[in-house]
Amino acid sequence: MSKWKEKQVRPVLPLYLAALAWPLASLVFPPYSLGNLVLVAVCSAVVYGVARVLCPMRVVRTLMPFATGSEDVDAMLTGIERNLDALHQLNDAIPDQVLSDAMDQMEATGRKIVRTVEHDPQKARQIDRFARYYLPEIIKLMSGYVELEANGASDGILSELRQNAVTTANAFDNLLESLYSSEVMDLSTDMEVLDSILKSQNLTK
């Protein structure tokens, strides 16, 4: 779930006015003596202080795409989303149906992985290699496919890239399934316990 991040920013106008006040005050109090130099410095400081009062801190609001409570996880998910968007754009440029279907599968599974980790940030460590290597690598390969196909490369390498995409799409599915392995195990255990209780009460045939 996205949220607005607020940050207070100090305005730079007081600094500019203080810097401008220094040469102007020097016209009135030529800084050839220590006393006049002090007066010039005081004038500049007064201008800065007044400007600070008249120019309060500004609040800058930035929309954060993710708010998991961990900046590292938020950055990881943002990077994954960016790569999935790039994968979608590459898919639009690829007419091959088999490859396009595999890329659709990868994108859909990738977005499910993002939602899963967003709801349970502790699963982030399980997708570290997916975020840092697998997904960026498939972007690189598909970009190469688009370039090779445009330049009329041999069908041999293009066929290998298609097969690699299908294998990768299935690997993404396996990764998503592994994220729910503990939940599946807990559910299976609960069902076994419930079944045992029902049998002990003679409530099942």
Buried b (16+ CB within 10 A) or exposed e, 102-113: bbebbbebbeeb
DSSP type of residue 56: P
Confidence class of residue 169 from pLDDT cuts 50, 70 and 90? Answer: very high
Confidence class of residue 105 from pLDDT cuts 50, 70 and 90? Answer: very high
The rounded distance, in Å, linking the Cα atoms of 98 and 119 is: 32
Residue at token pair 């401008």: 20
**DSSP-based three-state secondary structure for 65:** coil
For strands 3-9 and 58-64, give the pairing. Answer: antiparallel
Q: What's the chain's average pLDDT?
A: 82
Nearest of 170, 3, 40 to residue 102 by alpha carbon? 170
| pTM, full prediction | 0.62
pLDDT confidence of residue 15: 85
User: Average pLDDT, stretch 93-102?
Assistant: 88
